[in-house]
């Protein structure tokens, strides 16, 4: 006996076996059981989601010798012949190969004749959007008022191409793309029935590669079984599909978590040695970031059977949620623009480096940058400009108030002050005279109490209003924000992808639309 491919062997025979299209099945079941069956149905959806299968089950339900119902017996002559594709009153037409108006007229000439074996004569027209305009015109009248013994079942992957006159004459059902979890679950069921050993991560890879199509998933499963000599293993499936090893993604994420540009480029170099698909690297990285984001939002959202759950949770603790969202957005844009890069490798490298360039500075990094002395820069004229000045906050006042976690007007008063001196239980602050209105005795008392808790001793606080001799924390924050904003603007203007877009489409950059990551 010849081998029967899985997509045909496990094609659903009854409505209960349909996966992921309950919204369509429910409506058809109720219509059949309550004798409210329309004369024309349109099933729309991407390839391999069950359009033709549902249409055949509907035809079987209409012609079952036990009577019209949502539960055809499956054993009578009509049911058997429909399943085997030889039921004379189920006329299946491939519209892609019969687009001419003469083909449609020939088809419709037989509509008036009664069915030969079944209760209804069912016309199943696949890829109906391929019919010509004249063919649709020839079909319209019959489609609107067919003989009582005729039912039309139309299927299409592109309903937008159908005339509104056709759509208005049909009950339309939009079939959904199947989620990877649904596909993976069905693959497990089939492999259990087939007695084939498998690894669950391999099935998730196949489900994702199927891109919403159950038929594609079953075809890939057939291929995976053959490739693995009767076993479905993750490494075999990765090799078969040409997908990126998950360890590559983990190395990229670990390098991003510590801001190691050398390690990032080292991973890209390793990928290049194996002639991998750079777009696939970005795709897998985005999926990894998505899993990390789920783990950060709620660890329970990760699949319990995920073999990488432990490493994902570890990375979730190393990366901040803000970084993850930033990396994801940069990765999406980088993947979209990969074709505009001079070559795919440089496009991948620039995307990864951009993630580091736009990563928000940590407290230690910000302090390190702010401690670099300013160098005066002479302009071509008499005026002299300088880089942002080094803040003199004696006693690291900005770090002190950051740890005090003050809020409201007390926090504003502290952030607009500088520490003038501290020692022997006495602390003197100077409040910027521009913010003198922030001062009050009550706020001064609240600030002193917070400082006493921080320093662990009683303090005599003196707060005077005047011109600070150095930068206040508020001024420092504003300066750093301006510097980050300027860095973001420079990065956009110097980005090779942006320059390519400007040259290709005569595009202009709106500086007001550029925002730095806080």
The residues near 14 (Cβ < 8 Å, ≥ 6 apart) are 57, 71, 72, 74
Q: What pLDDT does residue 185 have?
A: 92
Same domain, 236 and 269: no
Same domain, 23 and 90: yes
Structural tokens at position 503: 């040259």
The yes-or-no verdict on residue 85 having pLDDT over 90 is no
Final residue of a domain: which of 144, 174, 204?
Answer: 174
Q: What pLDDT does residue 197 have?
A: 92
Same domain, 147 and 185: no
Q: For residues 393 and 46, which has the higher predicted lDDT (pLDDT)? A: 46
Rg of the Cα atoms in the chain: 34
Q: Has residue 505 been placed in a domain?
A: no
Same domain, 21 and 168: yes
CA dist., res. 234 & res. 226, Å (int)? 14
E strand intervals along 45-141: 90-94, 121-126
Q: What pLDDT does residue 390 have?
A: 33
Same domain, 158 and 237: no
**What mean pLDDT is predicted for residues 242-270?**
85
**What mean pLDDT is predicted for residues 278-290?**
89
CA dist., res. 146 & res. 143, Å (int)? 6
Q: Has residue 41 been placed in a domain?
A: yes
CA-wise closest residue to 153 among 133, 127, 116: 127
Q: Has residue 385 been placed in a domain?
A: no
Q: What pLDDT does residue 307 have?
A: 54
For residue 419, the cross-strand partners are 429
Same domain, 154 and 188: no
The CATH number that applies at residue 449 is 3.30.300.150
CA dist., res. 282 & res. 268, Å (int)? 11
Helix, strand, coil percentages (3-state) for the chain, rounded to 5, are 55, 10, 35
Q: Has residue 510 been placed in a domain?
A: no
**What mean pLDDT is predicted for residues 414-431?**
90
Give the Cα-Cα-Cα angle 415, 421, 422 (nearest 5 degrees).
95
The CATH number that applies at residue 230 is 1.10.8.60
Q: Has residue 37 been placed in a domain?
A: yes
Same domain, 166 and 213: no
Q: Has residue 161 been placed in a domain?
A: yes
The yes-or-no verdict on residue 402 having pLDDT over 70 is yes
Phi-psi region of 456 (alpha: psi -120 to 50; beta: other; left: phi over 0): left
H helices of 76-213, in order, are: 77-83, 101-109, 133-144, 164-167, 180-194, 200-209
The CATH number that applies at residue 130 is 3.40.50.300
**What mean pLDDT is predicted for residues 430-441?**
89
Cα–chain-centroid distance for residue 83? Answer: 38
Most confident of 110-114, 343-347, 393-397: 343-347
**What mean pLDDT is predicted for residues 68-76?**
92
CA dist., res. 289 & res. 406, Å (int)? 34
Q: Has residue 463 been placed in a domain?
A: yes
Q: For residues 93 and 510, which has the higher predicted lDDT (pLDDT)? A: 93
Final residue of a domain: which of 456, 471, 486?
Answer: 471
Q: What pLDDT does residue 485 have?
A: 81
- Least confident interval from 122-126, 128-132, 501-505: 501-505
Same domain, 301 and 318: yes
Same domain, 230 and 253: no
Q: How many CB atoms lie within 10 A of CB 93?
A: 18
CA dist., res. 443 & res. 420, Å (int)? 19
Same domain, 235 and 273: no
Q: For residues 245 and 62, which has the higher predicted lDDT (pLDDT)? A: 62
The CATH number that applies at residue 262 is 1.20.272.10
Same domain, 257 and 326: yes
Q: What pLDDT does residue 99 have?
A: 67
Place of tokens 């492999």: 191
Q: What pLDDT does residue 380 have?
A: 39
For residue 263, the cross-strand partners are none
Q: What pLDDT does residue 366 have?
A: 44
Q: What pLDDT does residue 381 have?
A: 42
Give the Cα-Cα-Cα angle 315, 317, 323 (nearest 5 degrees).
75
Q: What percent of the chain has pLDDT over 90?
A: 33
Domain that holds residue 419: 397-471
Number of domains composing the chain: 4
Per the prediction, the chain carries an average pLDDT of: 84
Q: For residues 112 and 151, which has the higher predicted lDDT (pLDDT)? A: 151
Q: What pLDDT does residue 391 have?
A: 33
Confidence category of residue 29, pLDDT binned at 50, 70, 90: very high
Final residue of a domain: which of 295, 329, 357?
Answer: 357
Same domain, 87 and 133: yes
DSSP state of 435: G
Q: Has residue 515 been placed in a domain?
A: no
The yes-or-no verdict on residue 245 having pLDDT over 90 is no
Confidence category of residue 225, pLDDT binned at 50, 70, 90: very high
């Amino acid at each position: 006996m010849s081998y029967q491919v899985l997509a045909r062997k496990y094609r659903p025979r009854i409505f209960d076996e349909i996966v992921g299209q309950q919204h369509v099945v429910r409506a058809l079941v109720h219509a059949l059981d309550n004798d409210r069956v329309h004369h024309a149905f349109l099933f729309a959806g991407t390839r391999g989601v069950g359009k033709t299968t549902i249409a055949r089950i509907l035809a079987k339900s209409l012609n079952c010798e036990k009577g019209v119902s949502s539960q055809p017996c499956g054993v009578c002559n009509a049911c058997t012949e429909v399943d085997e594709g030889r039921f004379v009153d189920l006329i299946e037409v491939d519209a892609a190969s019969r687009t001419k108006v003469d083909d449609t007229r020939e088809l419709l000439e037989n509509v008036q004749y009664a069915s030969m074996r079944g209760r209804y004569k069912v016309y199943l027209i696949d890829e109906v959007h391929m019919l010509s305009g004249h063919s649709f015109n020839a079909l319209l009248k019959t489609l609107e008022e067919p003989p009582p013994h005729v039912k039309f079942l139309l299927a299409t992957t592109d309903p937008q191409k159908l005339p509104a006159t056709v759509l208005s004459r049909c009950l339309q059902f939009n079939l959904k793309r199947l989620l990877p979890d649904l596909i993976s679950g069905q693959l497990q069921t089939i492999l259990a029935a087939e007695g084939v050993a498998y690894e669950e991560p391999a099935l998730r890879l196949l489900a994702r590669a199927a891109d919403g199509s159950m038929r594609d998933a079953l075809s890939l499963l057939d291929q995976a079984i053959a490739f693995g000599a009767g076993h479905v293993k993750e490494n075999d499936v990765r090799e078969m599909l040409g997908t990126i090893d998950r360890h590559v993604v983990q190395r990229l994420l670990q390098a991003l978590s510590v801001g190691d540009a050398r390690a990032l480029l080292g991973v890209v170099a390793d990928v290049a040695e194996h002639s991998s698909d750079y777009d696939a690297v970005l795709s897998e990285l985005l999926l990894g970031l998505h899993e990390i984001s789920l783990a950060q939002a709620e660890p329970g959202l990760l699949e319990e059977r995920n073999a990488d759950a432990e490493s994902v949770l570890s990375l979730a603790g190393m990366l901040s949620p803000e970084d993850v969202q930033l990396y994801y957005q940069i990765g999406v844009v980088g993947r979209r623009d990969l074709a505009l890069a001079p070559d795919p490798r440089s496009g991948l490298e620039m995307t990864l480096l951009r993630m580091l360039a736009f990563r928000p500075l940590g407290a230690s990094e910000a302090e390190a940058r702010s401690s670099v002395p300013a160098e005066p820069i002479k302009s071509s004229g008499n005026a002299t400009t300088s880089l942002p000045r080094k803040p003199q906050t004696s006693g690291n006042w900005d770090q002190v108030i950051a740890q005090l976690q003050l809020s409201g007007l007390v926090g504003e008063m502290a952030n607009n002050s500088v520490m003038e001196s501290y020692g022997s239980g006495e602390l003197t602050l100077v409040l910027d005279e521009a913010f003198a209105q922030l001062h009050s005795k009550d706020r001064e008392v609240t600030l002193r109490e917070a400082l006493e808790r921080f320093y662990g001793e009683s303090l005599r606080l003196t707060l005077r209003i005047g011109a600070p001799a150095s930068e206040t924390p508020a001024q420092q924050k504003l300066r750093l924000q301006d510097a980050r904003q300027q860095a973001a603007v420079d990065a956009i203007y110097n980005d090779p992808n942006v320059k390519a877009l400007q040259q290709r489409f005569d595009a202009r950059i709106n500086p007001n639309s550029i925002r730095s990551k806080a």
